[in-house]
Amino acid sequence: MAIATMTTPLPISLFPFLLLIPAICFTICHANSNLLFIQSEREALLKFKHHLIHPSNRLSSWVEGHVHQLNLAPTLSEPHDFAPYFEWEAYELSKLGGKINPSLLELKQLSSLDLSNNNFSSIHIPKFFGQLSSLEEFDVSENQLNGQIPLSMGELSSLKLFFVSNNQLNGQIPLSIGQLSSLEKFVASENQLNGQIPLSIGQLSSLEEFDVSENQLNGQIPLSIGELSSLKLFDVSKNQLNGQIPLSIGQLSSLEVFDVSENQLTGTFPLSFGRLESLETLDCGYNLLEGVVSETHFSNLTRLTTLAASWPKVSLVAKIPKEIVLFGNLQCRNFRCRAHLVFEPSHSI
């Protein structure tokens, strides 16, 4: 077992094993030299390791100190489709499986937990994760996890990143999400989530990315979305949302990507879109929108680079300003409207 001689906090690898080194970082908690593991955390890791399946034996050793980051994502990149068998075998063997032991709760200073791209199939996200009070980053994406997002996750007041995409999670997005006052990114795409987007989302003043695409969500986009002053990306595509796009969308001055495609949205295209001066990508295609899209919708969208739509009941009666075409490199796709999309200057430049 290695002995630390440094007297200042130092991130080091926890489980080195040739090329399968997981990026696990520690911080030494005392100023004394030659420290061994904090005993309680050493025992916690032993318990945690005991319940894991690691065919490559990459969890073979560790060193001393408080655990600050625990990164157990595979260190091998996924091979390309035509890679030889031994590359795929090595990649699969680098994945962890088994059970997630609550001994992690002994890691009192754990701020980052990354278990993504492993093989924790057919188990739920443990409720005890909500007791990891120092946690700031949480990533269990691409694991075939099922069950619901635990209500207890709302107790993680320091959480900034929440990634659970590409699993088999079901149930509703918990109301407790509104308690995550520090949350910056919520990514739960490619699951089987249902129910409505909770109104409590409007309490997330630090939220920059909200991606719940490719689920089974229904109901309306909440009016409270207009309270998300830091929001840059909003992607709810490929769900079953209905109702109208809320007028409050125009309050999102930082919004860069707005994708509500492949839902069942109705009503007209809000004029408030014209206030989204930071908008770069707009995709409202394959919905049930109707009415008229006028010059007012686009006159201030000088950063718009992608506009995608399929609106069989929408008429485009105005010209899109030349500034958008010349300086924004605007690309249009999937258009199926009553009128042709015409790019001409709305005034001379």
Instruction: Note the pLDDT tens digit of each residue in 274-333.
Output: 899 999 999 988 898 887 777 777 778 888 888 877 656 655 444 455 444 433 345 565
Largest CA distance in the chain: 76
Cβ neighbours for 105, distance < 8 A, ≥ 6 positions apart:
44, 128, 131, 132
CA distance 12 to 2: 11
The token pair at 216 is: 């089974």
Q: How far lies 26's CA from each of 11, 46, 70, 104, 213, in Å? A: 5, 16, 8, 14, 35
pLDDT of residue 145: 95
CA distance 299 to 346: 8
| Side chain identity, residue 215 | N
Mean pLDDT of the chain: 78
CA distance 244 to 225: 13
The token pair at 206 is: 């630090």
CA distance 277 to 252: 9
Residue 70 three-state SS: strand
Q: Which residues of 223-232 are buried (b: 16+ CB within 10 A; e: fewer)?
A: ebbbbbeebb
Give the residue ranges of the chain where pLDDT is below 50: 1-36, 60-63, 316-319, 322-329, 335-349
Beta partners for residue 313, in sequence order: 290
Specify the pTM.
0.77
pLDDT of residue 57: 55
pLDDT of residue 190: 98
188: nearest Cα among 132, 137, 222, 140: 140
pLDDT of residue 16: 35
